[in-house]
Amino acid sequence: MAGMIADHASAASSRPPEDIRPAIRIEALRKTYAASGREPEKVALKGVDLTIPQGSIFGLLGPNGAGKSTLINIMAGLVRKTAGRVEIWGFDQDVNPRQSRAAIGVMPQELNIDPFLSPRVSLEVQAGLYGVPRRERWTDELLEFVGLTEQAEAYARNLSGGMKRRLLMAKALVHRPQVLVLDEPTAGVDIGLREMLWTNVRRLNREGMTIILTTHYLEEAQDMCDEIAIIDRGALITRAPTRELLAMTDRKTLVIDPGPGALPTFQLPEGVTATRRPDGALALAYAPSRLRADEVLDALRGADIPILDVATEEANLEDAFRELTRT
C-alpha cells in the first residue's frame, strides 16, 4: 500500500502548479453567530490569519470555546464564514469550492457513524459522496490500514469505541486528501489505539500528507507537531515552531533528592517555589532569566538540606499553553 497519496489523481491533478504555496492559507477570517432567542450574538473568530506549510504536522490548540471547531468546520466547508478568505491546497473556497473540499479530510471528534451500516458500506457511501469513481476506490486497503479488515461486514453499532474511531479515520481518507484534520483523535481511546493512530499519522505524513491536529493531550502535540498555533477567545495569540514555543516559557525545575526524613525549615530566593513530591523528591521551580540554578542550590546548602542527587526538568508545552492562555 506504499504511495497511497501519490496514487490519487482526481483532486491533485486539477490543482494549480505546485510552488511554495502553503497547504492552508487563511486571511482575516471572521465568524459571527447571530443572536438567537436569549442567546446574544457571538463572535467565534476575530480576523484570524494563519498559514500552514505543506508536509507539516501542525498543532491547532486552545481552550474549550476558543474557536478551534469553528475554524475546522469552515475549512471543511461545513460552516459559512462571515468574512475573510480560506484557501485549501491552492484552491480558494469561494472560487473553487468543490476542489477545496476535495483537498481536505476531517476526522471529527464526534462518533457520527450510521449504526446500521458496516465499515465497508460506510466507506463506499463516503466515497460516493465525494464522487470517487469505483475504479479509484481503495476500500479494502483502507480497512487494512486502520485495522478493520475482520470487522468489515459487521454493523457499526457493534463496534467498540476504538474501532469506531478507526472507521472515522478511514472515512476521512476515502478521497485521498492532501490535508487531513484530526479533531481530538485520541479522546477516550486506549493506549494501543493511540499508538496505532500515531503510527498511521506519521506514515501518511512521510508520504506527503499535511496533518492538522487538535488535542487536549498536550504531550501528544509536543511529541508530534512541527509547529503549533494557539487560539484563544477567537483570536490567534501565537504561532511558532514547537521548540520555540517551549522556549517562550521562562521556567525550569530542579529536582533534588534530599534523602529520607523530614526537612528543616528553609528560605528560598524570591520567585522560587518548592514542592515535596510523593516519592520524597524536592521540586524547585524558578525562572532562569532571573535566577541561576547554583543560587537555588546555595540556599539549600545554607539550610543544611542534603543533596544526594539533582536533576533538571525543562518546561513543557502545558506550561507554555497555560502561560499564553492564562488558564
**Contact (CB, 8 A) for 155 and 166:** no
Largest CA distance in the chain: 77
Q: What is the domain range of residue 204?
A: 12-246
Q: What is the 3-state secondary structure (H, E, C) of 5-45?
A: CCCCCCCHHHCCCCCCCCCEEEEEEEEEECCECCECCEEEE
pTM to 2 decimal places = 0.77
Tally of structural domains, the chain: 2
The pLDDT score that the predictor gives to residue 86 is 97
Residue 204's domain is classified under what CATH number? 3.40.50.300
Together in a domain, 119 and 227: yes
Domain presence at residue 89: yes
Domain presence at residue 79: yes
Together in a domain, 201 and 273: no
Last residue of a domain, one of 246, 271, 303: 246
Together in a domain, 62 and 122: yes
Query: Which stretch of DSSP H or E encloses residue 244?
Result: helix 242-247
The pLDDT tens digits along the chain (327 residues) read 445 554 543 444 344 445 568 999 999 999 999 888 788 899 999 999 999 999 999 999 988 888 999 999 999 999 999 999 999 999 999 999 999 999 999 999 888 889 999 999 999 999 999 999 999 999 999 999 999 999 999 999 999 888 999 999 999 999 999 999 999 888 777 888 888 899 999 999 999 999 999 988 778 888 899 999 999 889 998 898 988 877 666 678 889 999 888 888 888 888 898 989 889 999 988 888 788 888 889 989 888 888 999 998 776 666 666 766 665
Beta strand extents in 155-223 (DSSP E only): 179-183, 210-214
Together in a domain, 118 and 88: yes
Together in a domain, 171 and 281: no
Helix or strand or coil: residue 95?
Answer: coil
Domain presence at residue 1: no
The pLDDT score that the predictor gives to residue 273 is 87
Beta-strand relationship, 104-107 and 179-183: parallel
Q: How many whole angstroms separate alpha carbon 295 and alpha carbon 272?
A: 10
Residue 268's domain is classified under what CATH number? 3.30.70
